[in-house]
Amino acid sequence: MRNAMHTDREHCVRAVQSKDARFDGWFFTAVLTTGIYCRPSCPVVAPKPENMTFHPSAAACQQAGFRACKRCRPDTSPGSPEWNQRADLVARAMRLIADGVVDRDGVPGLAARLGYSARQVERQLLAELGAGPLALARAQRAQTARLLIETTELPMADVAFAAGFSSVRTFNDTVREVFALSPSELRTRRSPDRAGTPTTTPGALQLRLPFRAPFNPDNVFGHLAATGVPGVEEWRDGAYRRTLRLPHGHGVVALTPRPDHIGCRLVLSDPRDLTVAISRCRRLLDLDADPVAVDGLLRADPLLSPLVDKAPGRRVPRTVDEAEFAVRAVLGQQVSTAAARTHAARLVTAHGDPVEDPEGGLTHLFPTPQALAALDPESLAMPRTRRATFTHLVSELADGRLHLDVDSDWAEARARLLALPGFGPWTVDVIGMRALGDPDAFLPTDLGVRRAARELGLPSTPAALTARAAAWRPWRAYAVQYLWATDSHPINFLPV
| Active site residues per annotation | 38, 446
Q: Cα–Cα distance between 204 and 330 in angstroms, integer? A: 34
Q: Cα–Cα distance between 181 and 67 in angstroms, integer? A: 10
- DSSP code at position 16: H
Q: Cα–Cα distance between 132 and 76 in angstroms, integer? A: 20
At 24 the three-state DSSP class reads strand
Spell out the long-range contacts of 407-413 with Cβ–Cβ below 8 A and sequence spacing 24 or more: 407/92, 407/93, 407/95, 407/96, 407/113, 407/114, 408/87, 408/92, 408/322, 408/436, 409/87, 409/92, 410/87, 410/436, 410/438, 411/87
Interior angle at CA 377, CA 371 and CA 379, nearest 5: 95
133-152: b (≥16 Cβ within 10 Å) or e: bbbbbbbbbbbbbbbbbbbb
Torsion, Cα of 330, 243, 494, 444 (10° steps) = -20
Amino acid at site 274: L
Query: Number of helices (H) and strands (E), helices first, in the chain?
Result: 23, 11
What residues form DSSP beta bridges with 205? 266
At 194 the three-state DSSP class reads helix
Question: Rounded to 5, what percent of the chain is helix, strand, coil?
Answer: 50, 10, 40
251 Rama class: left (phi>0) / alpha (psi -120 to 50) / beta: beta
Cβ(299)–Cβ(460) under 8 Å?
Answer: no
